[in-house]
Amino acid sequence: MSVDAPEAGPAPGRFASVFRVYEVRRDGDELLYYGDPRTDYQSLMREVWPVFTENGYDVQLDQRTGEYVLVAEPKETESGFPTTNVLLLALTVLSTLYAGTGWYYVQDVLSLDILRAVPFTLGVLGVLGTHELGHYVLSKRHDVDASLPYFIPVPTLFGTMGAVIRMKGQIPDRDALFDIGVAGPLAGLAATFVVGTVGLLLPPVRVPDYILNAPADQLVEIQFQYPLLLKGMAWVLGRPLEYPNDPTHVVNPLVIAAWIGMFITVLNLIPVGQLDGGHILRAMLGPLHERIAPVVPVALFALAGGLYVFGNAGQAVFLWVLWGGIATYMALRGSAVPLSEEPLDRKRIAVGALTFVLGALCFVPTPIVIG
């Protein structure tokens, strides 16, 4: 039985050895190839993906009304002005400026004094943007569709919940999965080093008199636990992270921006699911990663339990319970599966191991205490 090729789409005969097509339909921009797989999912996608890619389509295997169907959608092209990306960036600039006013002790946030927080905004957005652009550049290099970064504005202590890029389509091999996954943390850490170094070399911020003279019960104390990596940077530069003998000064807010970069690196390197750490470990270990993934949420819940029983860290307990829940969801969804399972070379294995070591140096069990 022959099936006519759809307009602009590949002819079914080009992948008949792995998928027997008995009907082709068009639904809007989608091309739907109904048929029967003749091999396992990974072998099937390895054959059909390049065929559809050269015709300008992304393809996924799906089931609809009990039938197998290859769903082909046109590849997204970056045409036109990225309105959503720019709008979110603008809102994140405003939210980080607002957050920065607290670190610079700006009282009138509706005045031009808010511009004193510009360095903090540049530091935070520089770290986050560099992290996501690392993913973006390596995605393009491996011909994987990726959007520009979407920044997430939130009026919190830090002004943002980070940034993400949206990837669509298949990951061709473990090399691509590794390169895309590792590029973000390493690029973000490079930017963090720059921001942290500048912050440590800049003068500290003077605490205003109205804070120093305020009753203790009217103040909210924020204590940062600094990771080993940031402590090491301060030691090398010969600069303090705290001023215990001088309550009139606090560390420059750019150091807080570097702390944020390290904290986000830790969260991204949790080795499960679609997180950067999950991509890196999946590329390094292959399918063996699926045996390790369920251990990750257990470890996070155990950390939260240990802090609850032996520590005085309520916010940290909530943080790790939250991420234990997120890790559980991601472990159930599974990690990205590349089309080719060719193992990584030794160079990439070494880079992956180094990345996890750097992540460990950014980790502290109790990142922040608010009291």
Contacts of 349 (CB under 8 A, 6+ apart): 284
Q: Name the β-bridge partners of 146.
A: 167
pLDDT at 283: 95
pLDDT at 355: 97
Rounded to two decimals, the pTM is 0.86
pLDDT at 204: 93
Lowest-confidence range among 82-96, 128-142, 149-163, 189-203? Answer: 149-163
Q: Mean pLDDT of all residues in the chain?
A: 89
Higher pLDDT, 326 or 2: 326
The angle at the Cα of 128, spanning 366 to 349, to the nearest 5 degrees, equals 80
Cβ neighbours of 311 (radius 10 Å): 13
Lowest-confidence range among 144-148, 194-198, 211-215? Answer: 211-215
pLDDT at 1: 44
Overall average pLDDT of the 347-361 stretch = 97
pLDDT at 211: 77
pLDDT at 314: 65
pLDDT at 79: 60
Higher pLDDT, 183 or 80: 183
What percentage of the chain reaches a pLDDT higher than 70? 94
Q: Helix/strand/coil (H, E, C) string of the chain? A: CCCCCCCCCCCHHHHCCCEEEEEEEEECCEEEEEEEECCCHHHHHHHHHHHHHCCCEEEEEEEECCEEEEEEEECCCCCCCCHHHHHHHHHHHHHHHHHHHHHCCCCCCCCHHHHHHHHHHHHHHHHHHHHHHHHHHHHHHCCCEECCCEEEECCCCCCEEEEECCEECCCCEHHHHHHHHHHHHHHHHHHHHHHHHHHHHCCCEECCHHHHCCCHHHCCCEEECCCHHHHHHHHHHCCCCCCCCCCCEECCHHHHHHHHHHHHHHHHCCCCCCCHHHHHHHHHHHHHHHHHCCHHHHHHHHHHHHHHHHCCCHHHHHHHHHHHHHHHHHHHHCCCCCCECCCCCHHHHHHHHHHHHHHHHCCCCCCEEEC
pLDDT at 177: 95
The model's pLDDT over 1-59, given as tens digits with 9 standing for 90+, comes to 445 556 678 888 899 999 999 989 888 888 999 999 999 888 888 888 888 888 888 88
pLDDT at 3: 59
Overall average pLDDT of the 126-131 stretch = 96
Lowest-confidence range among 102-111, 174-183, 189-198? Answer: 102-111
Residue 271 has pLDDT above 90, yes or no: yes
pLDDT at 180: 96
Q: Which domains does the chain show, CATH number per domain? A: 12-74 (3.90.1070), 83-293+334-370 (no CATH)
Closest CA relative to residue 293, chosen from 338, 342, 330: 330
The model's pLDDT over 48-107, given as tens digits with 9 standing for 90+, comes to 888 888 888 888 888 888 899 999 888 766 567 888 999 999 999 999 999 999 899 898
